[in-house]
Amino acid sequence: MQHTFTKRVASYVEAELSSAREARSAGNAKQEFSHLERAHVLGQESTYWHVRVHVLMLAWAIRNGSTREALGQLFRIVGAATKTAFGLVPQGNTGGANVSPFKTMPINHDLATLIQKAKSGI
């Protein structure tokens, strides 16, 4: 199921990552991180996407000089790499260091719809 979900959610995560790159090119760091957070919510049940988005968040933190975010992302990368396959992810968590890595959060309706599509194969 995980491998299938990873493939099915890929286009949705990649769309958010593309939007993040566009925001970065436009010099809008806040909007870039917002798209990374959306990518995180979409892909957090896939070890591949979960780790990849946290690595991109770490790169964002380094580029933007945020030591707090960088340290938070290092912790989250280890957690994503070791816990995701066991289903130990707090649903809806946006993945930034501004929220507890253990906090479950509500999922925006548009993202919840995409996640459900990826899970059901629609």
Q: How far apart are CA 57 and CA 59, in angstroms?
A: 5
Q: How buried is residue 74: exposed, middle or buried, by Cβ count under 10 Å (0-12/13-18/19+)?
A: middle
Q: How far apart are CA 112 and CA 24, in angstroms?
A: 25
Q: Could you list the pLDDT tens digit for every one of the 122 residues in the chain?
A: 468 999 999 999 999 999 999 999 999 999 999 999 999 999 999 999 999 999 999 999 999 999 999 999 999 999 999 999 999 999 999 999 999 999 999 999 999 999 999 999 87
Number of Cβ within 10 Å of residue 83's Cβ equals 14
Q: Is the dihedral of CA 101, 98, 53, 55 positive or negative?
A: negative
What are the distances in angstroms from CA 70 to CA 41, 62, 66, 76?
19, 6, 6, 10
- Whole-model pTM: value is 0.95
